Amino acid sequence: MKIDIPADIPAADQLGHVFFIGIGGAGLSAIARLMSQQGIAVSGSDAAESAVLGALRAEGITCHVGHDAAHLDGVDTVIASTAVRESNPEVVEAQRRGLRLWPRSAGLRSVMEGRRTIAVAGTHGKTTTTAMLTCALIEAGADPSFAIGAEVASLGANARLGAGDLLVAEADESDGAFLVYAPEGAVITNVDADHLDNYGTIEAYAEAFDEFVTRVGSFIVLNADDAGARALTAAAGERGLTVMLAGFAGDADLQARDLVIDASSSMFTVTRDGVELGAVRLAVPGAHYAQDALLALGAGLLLGHDFAALAAGLAAYTGAARRMQLLGAAGGVRVYDSYAHHPTEIAADLAAARAIAAGDRLVVAYQPHLVSRTRLYGAEMGQALSAADRVVVADIYLAREDPDPAVTPALIIDAVEGPVASAGGPVSGLAEMLLPDLRPGDMLLTLGAGDITTVGPAVMEALEARS
């Protein structure tokens, strides 16, 4: 559901009682936490019970399972997830009562009022980069507020209200949300066309990032290794922003060199304007994580913090939920889960998975996300999945879209070259299908932005029973 962004967005403490439709999602739960920690009355609902709802209740936030118009009694402002349909009874009731009905972006903007915001934007890597920057700033002595699109183990949550006036926020572009913000500083990880169900064309998607740059007040860190991010350099300079190019490229202002990746870490040396600053060691393996860390480091340096302290904070980062997350092991099989759903993300995660697998067999179960994305990128998804030893592709997760009989997992499967690839059908039966093919020593990686996250735990439970 697309909800108009209001022209006037008051500060969060002026919204009265705020109700979140879809409060169990990463984006809305983060905003709900920040508001609740400010002393604002907060409640919400979601379609199903989850660990997130349990955690929010433990923090004093009322969370309902299921949607009902009666939940809006005493409510002044309603913030709804983009996944919610117009027919949702709480949406209908909010409109009937004439309550403020806002999209997620307006809710986060209200929290930003009165704070110095550092916004992390880009097609891929936003969550990791935001989390890394937060960890680095905390180690450097700052106490920032933060809003991140996933639970982060080393931070204990996806959001927290800090003591200072600094807010580090993941700035999602999927529905144009990031164009509501006016941050002091920004990081752009990359610009790689996605969400064309909203933008329509690749050109319109790129233009949204151009517009985002015009909303930044002081500095911007751009990925020197990404053409889309680099293309924003001129616009940022014309606006008078301090611009830092960060990457492995030879002309990067902040450059990473001598990257070494093993099964459990990534290490590299950092130079700034040709002067060596020192080494960074991450507890997560993968070249894309090294790039994310370098971008976070750049923002920390431009905020005036010491390299050594920032590097120590980066070393303390141990990963975010659903970002190459180790779920556990059973029957000799290691099980990982990741959010990757775009060809670029799939390729990066499989490269990292190869390092983690260290020569063992890599089995990938992938759930495509959105019909529109599969229509556009199905063949590229299949090519990226070719790096695995065995591939199973589940049915498409529809989310906010309707099915299209012409768009099926076959678009992906037919493009896989090398490993055996087959259709997995509904996610509900995927664990049972995978079991006969798994053997001790394997690494199983479940990929996708939908409900495939349920498969890994089910596989481990079945493997334990089998062994």
What pLDDT score does 326 carry?
Answer: 87
pLDDT digits (tens, 9 = 90+) for 31-62: 999 999 999 999 999 999 998 999 999 999 99
Does the pLDDT of residue 114 top 80, yes or no? yes
Q: How far apart are the two ends of the chain, measured CA to CA in Å?
A: 46
What pLDDT score does 195 carry?
Answer: 61
Does the pLDDT of residue 210 top 70, yes or no? yes
Euclidean distance between CA atoms 443 and 418, whole angstroms? 18
pLDDT digits (tens, 9 = 90+) for 125-154: 899 999 999 999 999 999 999 999 888 988
Instruction: Evaluate whether 258 touches 268 at the Cβ level (below 8 Å).
Output: yes
Give SS3 for 271: strand
Distances (CA, A) of 89 to 47, 68, 444: 12, 6, 40
Does the pLDDT of residue 175 top 80, yes or no? no
Exposure string over 171-195, b if 16+ CB within 10 A, otherwise e: bbbebbbbbbbebbbbbbbbbbbbb
Residue 178 pLDDT grade (very low, low, confident, very high; cuts 50, 70, 90): confident
Does the pLDDT of residue 414 top 80, yes or no? yes
Residue 355 pLDDT grade (very low, low, confident, very high; cuts 50, 70, 90): confident
pTM of the predicted structure, to 2 decimals: 0.82
Mean pLDDT of 403-418: 93
Does the pLDDT of residue 3 top 90, yes or no? no
Mean pLDDT of 413-435: 93
Edge-to-edge order in the sheet of strand 166-170:
157-160, 145-152, 166-170, 116-121, 185-188, 219-223, 242-247, 254-261, 266-272, 275-282
Euclidean distance between CA atoms 231 and 342, whole angstroms? 21
What pLDDT score does 402 carry?
Answer: 84
Mean pLDDT of 95-119: 95
What pLDDT score does 439 carry?
Answer: 93
Does the pLDDT of residue 237 top 70, yes or no? yes
Select, from the ranges 192-206, 242-256, 338-352, the one with the highest average predicted confidence (pLDDT).
Answer: 242-256
Q: Torsion angle of alpha carbons 447, 451, 456, 460, nearest 10°?
A: -170
Does the pLDDT of residue 194 top 80, yes or no? no
Does the pLDDT of residue 283 top 80, yes or no? yes
Going along the chain from its start, the domains and CATH numbers come out as: 12-104 (3.40.50.720), 115-316 (3.40.1190.10), 325-466 (3.90.190.20)
| Mean pLDDT for all residues in the chain | 92
Residue found under tokens 């990746």 = 261
Does the pLDDT of residue 342 top 90, yes or no? no
- The share of the chain scoring above pLDDT 90, in percent, equals 73
Residue 277 pLDDT grade (very low, low, confident, very high; cuts 50, 70, 90): very high
Cα torsion angle, 124, 127, 132, 138, sign = positive
What pLDDT score does 269 carry?
Answer: 98
Q: Which residues pair with 65 in a beta bridge?
A: 46
What pLDDT score does 151 carry?
Answer: 85
Mean pLDDT of 78-82: 92
Give me 104's structure tokens: 């997620």
What pLDDT score does 197 carry?
Answer: 67
Mean pLDDT of 277-281: 97
Exposure string over 33-46, b if 16+ CB within 10 A, otherwise e: bbbbbeebbbbbbb
What pLDDT score does 192 carry?
Answer: 81
What pLDDT score does 202 carry?
Answer: 80
Euclidean distance between CA atoms 327 and 322, whole angstroms? 9
pLDDT digits (tens, 9 = 90+) for 295-330: 999 999 999 999 999 999 999 998 776 777 889 999
